[in-house]
Amino acid sequence: MDAVFEDFRKAYEKGNGYDVSMTLLPVAPASDPDRLYNIFRSTNFSQAQSDLKNKILYNSSPFKLSREEGNGWVEVYYAYWKAVGEILSAEEAAKTNSKVC
């Protein structure tokens, strides 16, 4: 997930909302085809929120977000992380011609 937050930091620092939104794409870019898989596998359900909080609130140099804004981004990226898990499940089910549970 480090690549996502590096991209987020760069875009946020520049005030580039379009690039910030690109960190939340539901498809992997051609330059990084394993991106969604790597994002989802970078943490687990019990640690996801605290890992995200550490990345966003405590490891966000060179800039710092306010606690309120940082917590908002934690919620956004936590929802994204969960959605990526669902996307990967659906893709796997499509490959094996099975139902998504």
* Residues 64-99: tens digit of each pLDDT: 888 999 999 999 999 999 999 999 999 888 888 777
Concatenate the DSSP letters of all residues of 43-100 into one string: S-TTTHHHHHHIIIIIS-TT----HHHHHHHHHHHHHHHHHHHHHHHHHHHHHHT---
Confidence grade of residue 101 (pLDDT, cut at 50, 70, 90)? low
Q: What are the distances in angstroms from CA 9 to CA 4, 28, 41, 51, 89?
A: 9, 19, 21, 16, 29
Higher pLDDT, 2 or 61: 2
Instruction: Determine the Cα–Cα distance for residues 31 and 36; give it in Å rounded to an integer.
Output: 12
- Tell me 26's DSSP state: S
| Chain mean pLDDT for the chain | 90
Instruction: Determine the Cα–Cα distance for residues 89 and 94; give it in Å rounded to an integer.
Output: 9
Confidence grade of residue 22 (pLDDT, cut at 50, 70, 90)? very high
* Residue-wise pLDDT tens digits, 41-63: 999 999 999 999 998 888 755 66
